[in-house]
Amino acid sequence: MSLVVHIPFYNPYPEKLEGPNKKNRLYFLKKTIANIKKINLKKIDIFVHTHNNYLKSKKIKAEVIVHKINNHDLKKGYLTWKPRKLMQSQKHLYNYFMYIEHDINFDKKNFQYWLKYSKILLKYNFNLGFIVTEKNSENKKYSLHIKKKFNQYVLINNKKFIVNDDQPYCCMWIYDKKNFNNFVNTKWWNFNWRGKNYISYYGVTEMSSIGWHGKQMDNFKSTIIPLRKNSLDDRCFISHNTNNYIFRKVRTKENLKFYCRYKIGNLIDTKNLRVYKEITGIKIFLLKLKFFFRFIEKIRKTKKERWLSG
């Protein structure tokens, strides 16, 4: 079995230290690569996509590809889309395909979890979920992106899976060869879609990292996570190693209300847990209406700001 991994590496300030650990981005990149290399497969090839020559003098266990990209596109996040041309050319060469950000820890247990459930869930048109975590100074883990507790579940082969209908984004994606080959033939592969709409709010980087399981996409019904002893399977957790958000939230007392809201053991709303129901036409209409008025309000505020400044 073989796995190919592509990692974008944006590094405008090579020696800048980040987070409470005060490490630079090269440290986190090496850590990500080292954990992936521990996955027990016959062949693992890793490609790092970057925009300067910083990595040329560094010893990393991956092939480095330097892309020409202007500063505007670089700051907007378009480096994250550069791996796709090479990935598509490799579509028949590997069994599994992964895209992952440079500071995300994905290890052997995460891969085994994915192998165990992903193929089963594909039969029912569900995506297997991961949850990105950060930990505070007391080593207590929090989910990075989840904004509201999970309150729905599905039964598959008499096993309960929690539905992540809040935020399936997890800074990475992984698909088998068949699913990946289907992916590259869709508009979602070629940036022919809008990340911001009535049901999601993805920037350029998030649009790349969501892969083919975004809530507005047409591939999966939803993203789900299995339960083990009435808790989320702990192999679904992948860590954001910089701990940047919880560091900013706790130590600088910055108001990051949509980040690190819940401890990982407190993500399920057990009192209101119910059987999963697909989104209704009425709910879609209301979401579109809300999005429309939010869009109008944004235009109004922009015009007011220009008038006041002009």
Instruction: Report DSSP letters for 4-38, one per residue.
Output: EEEEEE--SSTT--BTTTTB-HHHHHHHHHHHHHT
Pairing of strands 237-240, 104-105: antiparallel
pTM above the 0.85 mark?
Answer: yes
- Topology of domain 2-278, per CATH? Spore Coat Polysaccharide Biosynthesis Protein SpsA; Chain A (3.90.550)
The residues near 16 (Cβ < 8 Å, ≥ 6 apart) are 24, 25
The strand ranges marked E within the chain are 2-9, 43-50, 63-66, 96-100, 104-105, 126-128, 131-135, 141-143, 152-156, 159-164, 172-176, 222-228, 231-232, 237-240, 274-275
pLDDT of res. 144: 94
Q: Print pLDDT tens along the chain (310 aa).
A: 999 999 999 999 988 998 888 999 999 999 999 999 999 899 999 999 999 999 998 999 999 999 999 999 999 999 999 999 999 999 999 999 999 999 999 999 999 999 999 999 999 999 999 999 999 888 899 999 999 999 999 999 999 999 998 889 999 999 999 999 999 999 999 988 888 776 778 899 999 999 999 888 878 999 999 998 889 999 999 999 999 888 887 666 666 777 889 999 999 999 999 999 876 666 555 555 665 556 566 666 665 556 655 5
**Helical (H) or strand (E) element with 49:** strand 43-50
Which of 149, 106, 77, 72 lies closest to 3 in space, CA to CA? 106
pLDDT of res. 219: 85
Helix (H, G, I), strand (E, B) or coil at 265: helix
pLDDT of res. 299: 62
End-to-end CA distance of the chain: 62
**Helical (H) or strand (E) element with 307:** helix 281-309
The residues near 22 (Cβ < 8 Å, ≥ 6 apart) are none
| Residue type at 150 in one-letter notation | F
| Residue type at 196 in one-letter notation | K
Can you say whether the dihedral through the CA atoms of 33, 38, 39, 42 is positive or negative?
Answer: positive
Whole-angstrom Cα distance, residue 257 to residue 148? Answer: 11
Given a contact cutoff of 8 angstroms between Cβ atoms, the answer to whether 294 and 175 are in contact is: no
Given a contact cutoff of 8 angstroms between Cβ atoms, the answer to whether 86 and 99 are in contact is: no
Which string of b and e fits 13-50 if b means at least 16 CB within 10 Å? eeeeebbbeebebbbbbbbbbebbeebeeeebebbbbb
